[in-house]
């Protein structure tokens, strides 16, 4: 068994979080519940106040506060901590011995209030360590009736990004790139410069102040909740749950932020609806949480080999929904004879015998092997093409961008049989040069990794009804967000990425769907035509091994300014 | 784009009802030159019959989908299975051409088609779209109805119909 780590030094999707039982969770919560959340900032003193929370279709709770940060709620006495941000007071507490608690955001001016009810175990989350939450919008009964706009879910944060620094010292980049998800990058506690995606709530409290909460589902299951003032760039928040070492984190914090920008959102103008994935018949707290590992095929090397040996291999032989709006394939490589010399990689010789057939030989070993390929000339003289390496032990593919005008080539070399799942694609990036008659010799020049895409978001319209947005959130992360038909971006996930500049406004990008669907996606993005062409490499139990085309027109949603948060070698995973 | 596939719900036909849709007939020179009023009348009846056949086919396609009575064989129809509805575009005149012997004809007209795509694949995008409750999408596109007809013993029948 690997050593437990509070904040793992491996990607979170590789870390085996302990499957804590509800009994164990309850035991670990008991003492901290009685002492209340820790905080560097003293609590507001609410002694002798009584807050009657009322809402439609939800709980009615009376909070009776007493000295020394004690509160009685629902017949249970416990400890609370309260931090104020402007007119909003955020109060947090756990109910002893019951593995549940509350966070109350109370507007002292309007008496509007939002109650986060949270609990561990008994669903809908599949694991006891993953916190459940239900959100109730109501008010605090007072002499005066509640005034102002009721609290409600909001899309107003969608597209924004902030860099937060807590009073604990922890720094986090927060991309609010969806209405139901968010994407965060831990700059201190994690060291690999990756971003991760999690289901999130966005609540409108006032025109300035929002409540945000993400549950790090599929990972630790921690809740990270804060009230943020968008104008003053300040927050008060609560962190609750168990980290990778199964240590309870139960603390409140203050934060300050730096505004990083806002990417476009794509709802119709005037549409402010904010519950695009509503589940009116769902269980309490139920929402659509993408759990990709559950639906992913998980194959052994022997199973992969068996499926491939049975003939389930598809190389550009069927229509791809990922390219319904793709560009025409190019036949312009037919007749070319050339080689690609990769640095620290193979020397590939090519004889392109037709518009979809070529012959390759690796490192001058043996004869040539025929392979089916497809190619797209994305900018004059710059092609992306791909083919399988038949006979390779790991069922490799070469997906290559060849710039015949510059004599340069870059290969996203894909392969199967990774240590995690045999059908999950691994990838490496190989830089090299083209060699052949009429091809200029670039000498030592090579394509290079780029930050030009960092922080950018593009929408991709692959086929009618099949759209997504890419967010290149870190130097080694590609995140994808799926819209609803109404244009609300919703479910989100992410994986390893790599980004290479081919020419000005022409970029070769990839993503790996690790512990997800296993695909290696590659695209050559032309920012002048705002279109891409690419190739997907996928292995599945039912449909076998495939290379298929990818292509879509793009919209540039914007660019978030995050470059300064990453070191020069951040693409390697370590700053 | 998607391949056209042969539907399996069409079989032999009987001549459909006549319709009065005007068509721009491009009759062969021999036919045009004929100064035989009976022959002209017969040609006009053929034009109306073929236009009616197309309209009847479209109506049935949009209805229960059983177009068997309009076509010569089950292999005559080449329509992408994603097409779920066809609307004839009457802002353009159809083009109708008769063979020299008058026993065969070719038709071309404009139409709007509605396509319904089910996201059944194993790509992550399709999986996530299904997860969000969006298992299919509809779209509209302009197409041309390209059809061929043969005169049988008791009227005209569709021997080939495709959307291009």
pLDDT at B71: 86
- Which chain B residue is nearest to residue A328, measuring alpha carbons? B1
- State the Cα–Cα distance between residues A249 and A258, nearest whole angstrom: 25
Q: Does A318 score more than 80 pLDDT?
A: yes
Q: Are the C-beta atoms of residues B96 and B25 closer than 8 Å to each other?
A: yes
Q: Using CB atoms within 10 A of its CB, is residue B73 exposed (0-12), middle (13-18) or buried (19+)?
A: middle
Which residues in B lie closer than 8 A to residue A280 (C-beta atoms)? none
Domain coordinates in residue numbering, chain B:
28-163
Asked if the Cβ–Cβ distance from A321 to B119 is below 8 Å, we say yes
Q: Report the pLDDT value the prediction gives residue A243, as an integer from 0 to 100.
A: 98
Residue of A256, A252, A255 whose CA lies nearest to A44: A252
Share the mean pLDDT of chain A. 96
Most confident of A373-387, B79-93, B94-108, B113-127: A373-387
Cα A300 from Cα A302, distance rounded (Å): 5
Non-local (6+) Cβ contacts of A494 within 8 A are A183, A194, A195, A196, A197, A473, A477, A478, A479, A480, A511
Helix, strand, coil tally for chain A in percent (to 5): 5, 45, 45
Distance CA A144, CA A240 (A): 34
Q: What is the DSSP string of A300-311?
A: -HHHHHHHHHTT
Lowest mean pLDDT among A508-522, B11-25, B81-95: B11-25
pLDDT of residue A523: 98
Chain B residue with CA closest to A462: the answer is B125
Q: Which of A463, A482, A542 sits opposite B132 (nearest CB)?
A: A482
Residue pair A520/A534 in contact (Cβ under 8 Å)? The answer is no
Contact between chains at A538 and B122 (C-beta distance less than 8 A): yes
User: What residues of chain A have any CB closer than 8 angstroms to a CB in chain B?
Assistant: 277, 288, 290, 292, 295, 319-322, 324, 462-466, 468, 480, 482, 484-485, 490-491, 493, 513, 516-517, 519, 536, 538, 540, 542-543
Task: Give the span between the Cα atoms of A450 and A456, in whole angstroms.
Answer: 12
Sheet of A369-372, strands arranged across: A369-372, A357-362, A347-352, A337-342, A426-435, A408-415, A397-403, A382-388, A374-379
Q: For residue A16, name the pLDDT band (cuts at 50, 70, 90).
A: very high
Average pLDDT over residues A41-69: 96
- pLDDT at residue A572, as a whole number: 76
Q: Look at residue A352 and tell me whether its pLDDT is greater than 70.
A: yes
Q: What residues in B contact A480, CB-CB < 8 Å? A: 124-125
Banded pLDDT at A573 (limits 50, 70, 90): low
What pLDDT is recorded for position A345?
Answer: 96
Measured in degrees and rounded to the nearest 5, phi and psi for residue A11 equal -55, 140
Q: How far apart are CA B87 and CA B68, in angstroms?
A: 19
Contact B54/B124 with Cβ under 8 angstroms? no
User: What is the predicted pLDDT for the residue at A492?
Assistant: 97
Residue B65, chain A, CB below 8 Å: the answer is no
Interface contact A324-B1, CB threshold 8 A: yes
CB pair distance less than 8 Å for B119 and A465: yes
Nearest by CB: A516 against B119, B124, B136: B124
Q: State the pairing for strand pair A100-107/A408-415.
A: unpaired
The stretch B81-96 carries a mean pLDDT of 92
Which tokens sit at A441?
Answer: 């010799």
Q: pLDDT value at position B12?
A: 24
**Of A199-213, B6-20, B118-132, B145-159, which has the strongest mean pLDDT?**
A199-213
H helix or E strand, kind and range, residue B51: helix B37-62
pLDDT in tens, A246-300: 999 999 999 999 999 999 999 999 999 999 999 989 999 999 999 999 989 999 9
The predicted pLDDT at position B152 comes to 79
Q: Which one is the CATH code of B28-163: 2.60.40.2470, 3.10.450.50, 3.40.449.10, 1.20.140.10?
A: 3.10.450.50
Whether A480 sits inside 8 A of B124 (CB atoms) is yes
CA A96/CA A78 separation, integer angstroms: 7
Q: How far is A288 from chain B (nearest CA, A)?
A: 7
Which band of pLDDT confidence, cut at 50, 70 and 90, is reported for residue B38?
A: confident
In DSSP notation, A415-470 reads ES--SS-TTSPEEEEEEEEEESTTPPP-TT---EE-STTTTEEEEEEEETTEEEEE
pLDDT tens, position by position, A356-371: 999 999 999 999 999 9
Distance between CA A73 and CA A59 in Å, rounded?
A: 12
How many Å apart are CA A70 and CA A80, to the nearest integer?
A: 6
Rounded Cα gap, residues A186 and A220, in angstroms: 14
| Average pLDDT of span B52-57 | 93
Q: Is the pLDDT of residue A512 over 70?
A: yes
pLDDT of residue B17: 32
Contacts of A463 in chain B (CB under 8 A): 117, 137
Which tokens in the block code for residue A516?
């997800």
The complex scores an ipTM of 0.90
Q: Which residue among B122, B125, B133 places its CB closest to the CB of A542?
A: B122
**CB atoms A462 and B125 under 8 Å:** yes
Is residue B153's pLDDT more than 80?
A: no
Task: Give the pairing of strands A160-166 and A426-435.
Answer: unpaired
A324 vs chain B: nearest CA distance in angstroms?
Answer: 6
> Does pLDDT of A186 surpass 60?
yes
Q: What is the pLDDT of residues A409-441, one digit of tens each?
A: 999 999 999 999 999 999 999 999 999 999 999
- Is the CB of B124 less than 8 angstroms away from the CB of A517? yes
Does any CB of chain A come closer than 8 Å to the CB of residue B131? yes
């Amino acid at each position: 068994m690997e050593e437990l780590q509070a904040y793992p030094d491996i990607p979170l999707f590789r870390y085996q979080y302990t499957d804590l039982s509800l009994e164990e969770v309850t035991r670990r919560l008991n003492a901290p519940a009685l002492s209340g959340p820790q905080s560097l900032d003293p609590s507001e003193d609410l002694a002798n106040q009584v807050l009657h929370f009322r809402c439609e279709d939800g709980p009615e709770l009376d909070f009776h506060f007493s000295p020394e940060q004690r509160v009685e709620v629902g017949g249970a006495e416990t400890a609370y901590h309260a931090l104020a941000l402007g007119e909003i007071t955020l109060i947090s507490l756990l109910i002893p011995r019951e593995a549940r608690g509350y966070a109350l955001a109370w507007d002292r001016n309007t008496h509007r209030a939002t109650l986060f009810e949270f609990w561990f175990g008994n669903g809908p989350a599949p694991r006891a360590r993953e916190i459940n939450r239900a959100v109730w919008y109501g008010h605090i009964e007072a002499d005066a009736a509640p005034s102002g706009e009721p609290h409600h879910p909001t899309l107003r944060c969608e597209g924004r990004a902030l860099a937060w620094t807590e009073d604990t010292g922890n720094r986090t980049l927060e991309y609010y790139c969806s209405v139901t998800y968010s994407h965060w990058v831990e700059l201190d506690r994690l060291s690999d410069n990756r971003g991760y995606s999690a289901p999130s709530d966005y609540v409108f409290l006032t025109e300035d102040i929002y409540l945000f909460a993400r549950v790090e589902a599929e990972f630790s299951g921690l809740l990270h909740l804060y009230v943020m003032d968008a104008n003053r760039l300040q927050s008060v928040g609560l962190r609750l749950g168990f980290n990778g070492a199964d240590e309870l984190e139960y603390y409140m914090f203050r934060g300050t932020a730096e505004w990083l920008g806002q990417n476009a959102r794509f709802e119709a103008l005037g549409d402010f609806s904010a519950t695009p994935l509503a589940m009116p018949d769902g269980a309490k707290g139920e929402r659509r949480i993408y759990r990709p590992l559950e639906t992913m095929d998980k194959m052994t090397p022997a199973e992969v080999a068996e499926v491939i040996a049975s003939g389930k291999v598809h190389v550009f032989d069927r229509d791809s929904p990922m390219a319904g709006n793709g560009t025409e394939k190019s036949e312009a490589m037919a007749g070319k004879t050339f080689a690609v010399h990769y640095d620290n990689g193979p020397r590939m010789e090519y004889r392109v015998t037709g518009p979809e057939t070529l012959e390759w030989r690796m490192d001058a070993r043996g004869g040539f092997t025929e392979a089916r390929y497809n190619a797209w000339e994305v900018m004059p003289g710059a092609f992306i093409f791909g083919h399988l390496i038949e006979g390779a032990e790991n069922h490799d593919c070469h997906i290559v961008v060849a710039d015949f005008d510059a004599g340069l080539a870059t290969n996203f070399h894909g392969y199967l049989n990774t240590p995690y799942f045999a059908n999950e694609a691994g990838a490496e990036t190989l830089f090299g040069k083209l060699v052949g008659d009429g091809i200029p010799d670039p000498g030592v020049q090579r394509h290079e990794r780029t930050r030009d895409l960092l922080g950018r978001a593009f929408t991709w319209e692959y086929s009618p009804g099949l759209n997504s947005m890419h967010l290149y959130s870190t130097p080694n992360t590609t995140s994808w967000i799926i819209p609803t038909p109404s244009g609300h971006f919703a479910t989100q996930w992410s994986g390893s990425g790599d980004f290479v500049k081919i020419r000005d406004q022409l970029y070769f990008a990839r993503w790996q769907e690790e512990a997800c669907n296993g695909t290696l996606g590659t695209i050559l993005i032309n920012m002048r035509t705002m279109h891409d062409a690419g190739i997907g490499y996928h292995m599945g139990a039912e449909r076998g091994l495939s290379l298929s085309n990818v292509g879509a027109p793009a919209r540039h949603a914007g660019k978030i300014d995050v470059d300064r948060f990453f070191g020069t070698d951040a693409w390697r995973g370590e700053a | 784009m998607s391949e056209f596939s042969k539907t399996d719900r069409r079989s032999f036909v009987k001549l459909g009802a006549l319709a009065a849709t005007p068509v721009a007939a491009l009759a062969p020179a021999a036919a045009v030159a004929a100064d035989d009023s009976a022959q002209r009348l017969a040609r006009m009846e053929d034009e109306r019959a073929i236009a009616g056949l197309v309209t009847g086919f479209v109506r049935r396609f949009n209805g229960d989908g059983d177009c068997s009575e309009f076509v010569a064989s089950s292999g005559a129809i080449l329509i992408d299975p994603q097409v779920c509805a066809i609307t004839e575009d009457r802002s353009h005149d159809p083009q109708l051409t008769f063979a020299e012997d008058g026993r065969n004809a070719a038709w071309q007209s404009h139409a709007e088609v509605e396509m319904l795509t089910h996201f059944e694949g194993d790509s992550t995008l399709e999986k996530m779209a299904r997860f969000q409750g969006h298992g299919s999408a509809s779209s509209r596109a302009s197409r041309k109805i390209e059809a061929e007809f043969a005169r049988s013993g008791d009227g005209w029948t569709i021997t080939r119909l495709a959307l291009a």
